[in-house]
Chains A and B, each alone.
Chain A
Amino acid sequence: MADDVRDLVSRCLDGDQEAMVELVDFYRGQVFGLCYRMLRHRQDAEDVTQESFVRALRGLHTWDSERAFLPWLLAIAGNRCRTHLAARMRRPHTTSLVDHVTDDAAEVTNARHLAEEVELALSNLREEYRQAFLLFHQHEMSYAQISATLDCPLGTVKTWVHRARRELVAQLKHRGVVQEKRHAVRRV
């Protein structure tokens, strides 16, 4: 797989546009997934995903082929997300993904309801915590990889992930979502 990626990257560096499309197709799910969870807005996530790939392709010569490609790519996407979030803070409020969800508990299953609550809780996390949590649990990256991706010490990353979990749990408790498993989910 690593050799396939190196070959693809090499073709991209030669200006092969088919290879570029192939590379984007291969990683678009993971990049878009991160952007979507970070930005909580589909259109913004699409825009930032596209921007991230453009940046990555233009900076391919800076990728160290001895290292894994995905963390490098997700680092670019994460940086673009943070830049986008900073810009969003200066603009009027963007309707978030979670805001689109109707609060019609009777029509949704408990699982979906729980997922929505987790989504909402995620959106309230600090950016660093959220990104570290997503890279660990969604992208299944190791702490070492996350540390390299976010360019911060491994211990810090670990702390962020632990704090993210604690804060998420605290939010779920606060909203009355979390109880012992044998009880039904209660919505506040």
Chain B
Amino acid sequence: MQCEEFEIRLNEVLDERRRPESDAELSLHRETCPVCRKVAAAYDRLLDGFYALASPEAPDDMGLRVVAEMRSRPSPRRRFVVASSALAIAAALLIAIVPMFRQFGASQSGDSLVARGGGNPAASQTAVPSALTRIPRLMPELLAITESPDGDPYAGLAKETGQGLATVMLYVPGVGGGRGIIDAPADQVPWAAQVGEGLRPITNSVTETFDVLLEGLPVSQLAARS
């Protein structure tokens, strides 16, 4: 063995988790070469010192601390999912409602609403004038949003994704947590009464989200525009 091979071989032996003394080649060379003997001794000292390092003790209550931490702070991923869901719902709601308001604005003199295209056929044929009269009082700022000078950016999306939700929002009793965005009488829309109870928690959540969104809107500006 040459001296330049000694340290390479030494590392290989250590990689195999063996003591250098157990390797015949290394031992032989070590006997005859004082320089490599020093190299081997240095590695011995290193590992002796490393294994003599005191093993630190982890705190006994680490498990309890971890569980407490998990309980006190919801997962960022979960927070993200909740926030994303809320935003998605709010966005869908806006897409659904804004065209609806526009239609209402266009036919304010009339006394019936017929949903445009798609949506629930039963709903599209049902008139709910009393509900419509409440919309502008509750959401003037949303009416202002619909005054888009560059055409109707919501129409395409609304046709694809918004009509179903718009229909539900129009006809399900109790939508808005009892605050009456729409409060169609159940006898006018029989199917709504059946699904209304099941949808109520969802619609309440949607309304809460909606309220938060509205708080963030520049209401005074929009109201002025309307």
Chain A CB within 8 A of B53 CB:
yes
Shortest Cβ distance from B17 into A: residue: A140
* CB nearest neighbor in B for A23: B63
Chain A residues, Cβ within 8 Å of B62: 24-25, 28, 32, 46, 49-50, 53
Cα A33 to Cα B56 in complex, Å, equals 6
Chain A: CB-nearest residue to B56: A36
By the criterion CB–CB under 8 Å, are B58 and A49 in contact?
A: yes
Q: Determine the residue in chain A with the shortest Cβ distance to B75.
A: A58
Q: A22-B63, A28-B62 are in contact. Are A137 and B56 (CB under 8 A)?
A: no
- Smallest Cβ-Cβ distance to A55: which chain B residue: B75
Q: Compute how far the CA of A122 lies from the CA of B45 in the bound complex, rounded to whole angstroms.
A: 14
A72-129 at interface with B (beta carbon < 8 Å): 111-112, 114-115, 117-119, 122
The residue that A115 contacts in the complex, of B41, B54, B63, with Cβ under 8 A, is B54
A-B contact count (CB 8 A): 115
CA distance A170 to B131 in the complex (A): 84
Please name all residues of chain B whose beta carbon is closer than 8 Å to the beta carbon of A166 when the two chains form the complex.
7
Question: B61-72: contact bitstring with A at CB < 8 Å (1 yes, 0 no)?
Answer: 011111101100
Indicate whether B150 reaches chain A with its CB closer than 8 angstroms.
no
Residues of A within 8 A of B75 (CB): 58
For the complex, give the distance between the alpha carbons of A32 and B62 in Å: 10
Given A178-B46, A179-B41, A180-B41, verify A112-B52 contact (CB < 8 Å): yes
Within 8 A of B (CB), among A49-65: 49-50, 53-54, 57-58
CA–CA, A162 and B11, complex, Å: 7
Across the interface, B46 reaches (CB within 8 A) one of A28, A111, A168, A179, namely A168
Complex contact B11–A165 (CB within 8 A):
yes
Give the chain B neighbours of A33 by CB distance below 8 A: 55-56, 58
Q: Is A11 at the interface (CB under 8 A from chain B)?
A: no
Q: Is A172 an interface residue (CB 8 A)?
A: yes
Q: Does A148 contact B (CB under 8 A)?
A: no
Q: How far is the CA of A31 from the CA of B62 in the complex (A)?
A: 11
Binary contact track B1-26/A, C-beta < 8 Å → 1, others 0: 00000010001001101000000000
Q: Is B50 an interface residue (CB 8 A)?
A: yes
Contacts of A50 in B (CB 8 A): 62, 65-66, 69
Not counting A138-B50, A172-B45, A180-B37, a sample of 17 additional A-B residue pairs whose C-beta atoms are within 8 angstroms of each other reads: A24-B67, A25-B63, A28-B58, A29-B55, A33-B58, A36-B56, A45-B56, A111-B52, A112-B52, A118-B53, A122-B50, A137-B51, A143-B15, A172-B49, A179-B41, A179-B45, A180-B38
**Could you tell me which A residues sit within 8 Å of B by CB distance?**
17, 20-25, 28-29, 31-33, 36, 42, 45-46, 49-50, 53-54, 57-58, 111-112, 114-115, 117-119, 122, 137-138, 140, 143, 158, 161-162, 165-166, 168-169, 172-173, 177-181
In order of increasing CB-CB distance, the 10 nearest A-B pairs are: A21-B63, A32-B58, A118-B49, A24-B63, A114-B49, A28-B58, A178-B42, A115-B52, A53-B66, A36-B56
